[in-house]
Amino acid sequence: MRLSPGETHPSVDLDRIDLWDARLYSEGRPHAVWRALRQQAPVHRQELADGRRFWSVVRYADVCRVLRDHEDFTSERGTLLTALDTGDPAGGRMMAATDPPRHGVLRESLNRVLSMKAVEARRDALLKPIDRLLAPLLTGEPTDLAAAAMDFPMDFIGTFMGLPEADWPRLAKLTTMAVAPEDADFQEGSAPLTLVSAHHELFEYFSHQLSARGTTPTDDLIGQLMTTRLDGSPLDHETIVYNCYSLILGANVTTPHTITGLVQALMDHPTAYAKAAADPSLLAGCVEEGLRWSSPASHFMRYATRDVDLGGQRIRAGQAVAAWLGSANRDEDVFTDPDVFDIERRPNRHVAFGFGPHYCVGGALARISLRMLFERIFTRIERVEPAGDVRHLASNFVAGVTSMPVRAVPRDEP
């Protein structure tokens, strides 16, 4: 998704808006569309060619309302537009597709491994993938940062889930296929076939992994799921598989694009790079602004459980609602000069990790890994420069890039 602050906001024809179309995010100007909607139609209804319909909410307050209020807006019928009106067999079983109070039981279990305290205890395990990502940059030769970043979170989640390292590259590709089936770089057959085959292969993979472990829980996320009890009973095989899928998807499809989005912003704003490199106290704020700026998860979907009035519109029970995080994070009513990249922004109440009960369970892992990565970048690299054209990901869920050639200028050794 194009993020450059130098772009003007062209006029937008509200009657021709298509937030479903993956090409809008790879070739178009979604921020201009969201801006027009915030101003003129903050609760907007779209009908697809096949007759399916969904509402979009684009203002910060409405996005937070939809994501927070699980009584009016349920997660259990599907949470992404790719599954619009198809039903979700994981509803009530996968944490991302489960409402409180059952959601809280699953979340509490995984938090034992993914809480800030638990992740801090494993900081040393994060250094290897960080150095692996930095290695090609430190040569000073052109490298595709998007390709390198694609493998970065797999190193973390693969370790935390206890998955064989040899499987990591294929798993990283499969997760992107699942969220960007219309992107030519990740297609294996048609877009519908890509989506189905990615889901099938991931579910089969985790089913095999679980079966191979037997009944003895291991000291990792899968082992944690094996010991979790829901309504007094252990999770069944299928429920564990669903949650393994959710964990790896959440880790792999967002963090790489925060990295590329923040690096792109810092290349566009060399003064910000120099300030962050010179003052370690700005590191955390720099990462938070990078999360707001890139908003790698563009939307989450909910379904109204009853008739709800929102933004002057009546949303009927059963209708789908897409809450656009990328738009909320540029809402002029919440963020001063939202199209300005500001590493010293205060406050910065972004919703890049979601909002409410479903706030990203891996948020602590993402924050710590990103801070460690950029701390090393600022310490070892004087600046990063573009080395070729950027290619954007075709996906209505993930805002990111598939190719970003860059050249780093390493700092002189002391």
Name which of 105-119, 168-182, 223-237 the model is least confident about.
105-119
- Model confidence at 340, in pLDDT bands (50, 70, 90)? very high
Q: How many Cβ atoms sit within 10 Å of the Cβ of residue 178?
A: 25
Beta pairing partners, 309: 314
**pLDDT for residue 109:** 86
Residue 9: is its pLDDT beyond 70? no
**pLDDT for residue 5:** 47
Q: Tokens 């950029």 belong to which residue?
A: 374
Q: Mean of the pLDDT values across residues 151-169?
A: 91
Q: Mean of the pLDDT values across residues 202-218?
A: 90
Cβ(265)–Cβ(2) below 8 Å: no
Q: What is the pLDDT of residues 55-69, one digit of tens each?
A: 999 999 999 999 999
Phi, psi of 177 (to 5 degrees): -55, -35
User: Would you kindly state where each structural domain of the chain is located, as residue ranges?
Assistant: 14-410
Measure the CA–CA gap between 181 and 26, rounded to whole angstroms.
Answer: 13
Q: Mean of the pLDDT values across residues 336-360?
A: 96
Q: What is the pLDDT of residues 361-371, one digit of tens each?
A: 999 989 999 99
> Does residue 106 sit in helix, strand or coil?
helix
**pLDDT for residue 7:** 52
Q: What is the pLDDT of residues 33-48, one digit of tens each?
A: 999 999 999 999 999 9
Q: Tokens 């509200």 belong to which residue?
A: 14
- Candidates 112, 75, 123; CA nearest to 225 is 112
Q: Mean of the pLDDT values across residues 165-189?
A: 94
Q: Could you tell me which residue, 328 or 8, shows the higher pLDDT?
A: 328
CATH of domain 14-410: 1.10.630.10
Residue percentage of the chain with pLDDT more than 70: 97
Residue 107: is its pLDDT beyond 70? yes
Q: Mean of the pLDDT values across residues 394-412?
A: 95
- Candidates 262, 259, 246; CA nearest to 362 is 246
What average pLDDT does the structure give for the chain?
93
Q: What is the pLDDT of residues 260-302, one digit of tens each?
A: 999 999 999 999 999 999 999 999 999 999 999 999 999 999 9
**pLDDT for residue 1:** 58
Measure the CA–CA gap between 357 and 194, rounded to whole angstroms.
Answer: 31
**pLDDT for residue 280:** 96
